[in-house]
């Protein structure tokens, strides 16, 4: 039996599971190893549809290893991308030999994001930090955002100077604008993400909301208000909550927003796709 006291106790803040440093999104955390008995713990909670990107780098001349503890067993792990079972995991950094250093820092980084459990959904748009990811398959029949299947239906009633009824129905021929050529034909946009709020009550704010254009859809507004007209359209630009996959509003065409009522929104910069959405004919 032996006991261990850290050489530098000021740095010994995460040496047990109870004191483990919590996951910090997309942030490289640094620390040192001051003894062959010094273990540093990092806690990561994995939820449904979570994908984990993990990287570890050690300083020159040091010999470290990382184990993963799932509450029952220990595993070795290499840098890479993983789909782990839901649960709490502890990543443990330790010395593999007497080659360690109290003044040379190692780095450990976790990037967690969500993907659908659909191996065919290989195509995607995503924000730079992957906080929001829009996926679809090659047949363009299944669509997801942050792992959630997208429900392309919507209804809302506004009681203002007479009732206004909003209804978006999915049709068998409906599809999503994915290419610039399609966007130009139906005057829509390719997928993007926005942070959006409204200056009126009854509307939530959304961060990294998905915006997509629909064509061959059925969008109807029945208005009994003298201030707003009704309409029927086979195209619509919709706002989707990235955390649920639900349509939360229709941006255009919408008589509310065409006649003075406004939404406040900003685009998320640097949105990327992993396929050619602007092909050369």
SS3 letters across 47-101: CCCEEEEEEEECCCCCCEEEEEECCCCEEECCCEEECCCCEEEEEEEEECCCCCC
Give 12-69 pLDDT, tens digit per residue: 556 677 777 777 777 899 999 999 999 999 999 999 999 999 999 999 999 999 999 9
In the block, residue with structure tokens 């796709």: 273
Q: Is 12 helix (H, G, I), strand (E, B) or coil?
A: coil
Q: What is the pLDDT of residue 15?
A: 63
95 forms beta bridges with 64
In the predicted model, what is the mean pLDDT of residues 209-226? 95
Domains of the chain: 9-114 (2.60.120.380), 123-273 (no CATH)
Distance, in Å, from the CA atom of 14 to the CA atom of 135, rounded to the nearest integer, reads 37
Backbone angles phi, psi at 26, to 5 degrees: 50, 35
Give 235-277 pLDDT, tens digit per residue: 999 999 999 999 999 999 999 888 878 889 999 999 999 999 9
Here the tokens at position 228 are 């707003």
In the structure, what pLDDT confidence band is assigned to residue 279 with cuts at 50, 70 and 90? confident
Q: What is the pLDDT of residue 161?
A: 67
Q: What is the pLDDT of residue 4?
A: 38
Strands 272-273 and 206-223: unpaired
Residues with Cβ within 8 Å of 127's Cβ and at least 6 positions away in sequence, in order, are 133, 193, 208, 268, 270, 271
């Amino acid at each position: 039996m032996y006991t261990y006291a850290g050489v530098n106790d000021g740095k010994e803040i995460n040496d047990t599971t109870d004191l483990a440093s919590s996951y910090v999104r997309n942030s490289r955390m640094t620390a040192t190893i001051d003894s062959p008995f010094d273990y540093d713990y990092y806690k990561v909670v994995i939820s449904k549809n979570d994908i984990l990107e993990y990287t570890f780098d050690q300083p020159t001349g040091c010999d470290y290893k990382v184990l993963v503890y799932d509450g029952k067993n220990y595993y070795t792990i290499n840098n890479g991308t993983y789909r782990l079972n839901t649960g709490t995991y502890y990543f443990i950094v330790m010395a593999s030999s007497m080659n360690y250093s109290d003044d040379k820092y190692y780095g450990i980084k976790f990037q967690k994001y969500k993907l659908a459990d659909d191996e065919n959904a290989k195509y995607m748009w995503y924000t730079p930090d992957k906080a929001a990811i829009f996926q679809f398959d090659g047949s363009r029949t299944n669509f997801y955002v942050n792992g959630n299947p997208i429900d392309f239906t919507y209804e809302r009633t506004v009681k203002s100077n007479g009732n206004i009824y909003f209804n978006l129905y999915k049709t068998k021929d409906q599809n999503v604008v994915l290419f610039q050529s399609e966007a130009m034909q139906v005057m829509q946009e390719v997928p993007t993400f926005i942070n959006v709020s409204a200056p009126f009550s009854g509307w939530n704010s959304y961060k990294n909301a998905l915006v997509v254009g629909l064509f061959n859809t059925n969008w109807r507004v029945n208005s009994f208000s003298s201030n707003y007209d009704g309409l029927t359209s086979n195209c619509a630009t919709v706002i989707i909550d990235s955390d649920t996959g639900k349509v939360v509003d229709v941006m255009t065409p919408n008589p509310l927003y065409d006649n003075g009522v406004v939404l406040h929104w900003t685009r998320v910069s640097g949105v990327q796709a992993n396929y050619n959405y602007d092909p050369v004919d």
